[in-house]
Amino acid sequence: MRQALVAAHEARGRGEVPVGTCIVNGDQMLAVAGNRTRTDQDPTAHAEVVALREAARRVSNYRLIDAVVYSTIEPCVMCAGALIQARVRRLVFGARDERAGAVESRFKVCDTDFLNHRIEITAGVLEEECRELMQDFFRERRLAKGLSEPPALAGGQSQNRLR
């Protein structure tokens, strides 16, 4: 998760929503990536998808059956779907995304019973740090736009509508 946080900080430096993902297989690091949607002008370039692509290329296999994916924020619908497609073994995430999270918060994509693949889920790892990075980012962006802080931020929810 520390590596994922480094990638999230790096994404923030590029003006991206600060989300980072790290994929490991045993002792082997397969990929580390931050959000790249703006950098690449690609709406699918969320950290999780970028990292899955890199990891799959590295092992020359579109299935990552023993992989553990660390992500700073609860994945969205697209990314949760991609994790299932890749058949990853385990997902570890930092902070929940109450607005768009698709693992526990808004949807439970990984729990659907018609899928014959179950991903082990661990939530809340380095949660505060992961959430604060997002909150700082959106607070700064709001201040830059001269807007006041909405109550949702004070309540500890992520505001990643710009992601």
- Catalytic positions are 48
**Residue of the chain from 30, 55, 79, 103 that contacts Zn ion (CB under 5 A):** 79
Query: Which among 23-31, 55-63, 78-86, 137-145 is the span making contact with Zn ion, rule CB under 5 A?
Result: 78-86
In the bound state with Zn ion, the residue whose beta carbon lies nearer, of 1 and 76, is 76
Q: What are the tokens at 11?
A: 């994404």
Query: Which among 46-54, 89-97, 105-113, 123-131 is the span making contact with Zn ion, rule CB under 5 A?
Result: 46-54
Helices (H) and strands (E) in the chain, counts: 6, 5
Q: How far is the CB of 86 from Zn ion (least distance, A)?
A: 13
In the bound state with Zn ion, the residue whose beta carbon lies nearer, of 59 and 78, is 78
Instruction: Find all residues with CB under 8 Å of 152, minimum gap 6, and list them.
Output: 159
In the bound state with Zn ion, the residue whose beta carbon lies nearer, of 28 and 44, is 44
**Residue of the chain from 46, 64, 67, 71 that contacts Zn ion (CB under 5 A):** 46
Are 78 and 87 within 8 A, CB to CB?
no
**Residue of the chain from 22, 45, 76, 119 that contacts Zn ion (CB under 5 A):** 76
Q: How far is the CB of 41 from Zn ion (least distance, A)?
A: 16
Q: Are strands 20-25 and 90-95 parallel, antiparallel or unpaired?
A: unpaired
Q: Give 100-133 as a 3 state SS string.
A: CCCCCCCCCHHHCCCCCCCCEEEECCCHHHHHHH
Query: Which residue in the block uniquely carries the two structure tokens 């990314």?
Result: 79
Contacts to Zn ion by CB under 5 A: 46, 76, 78-79
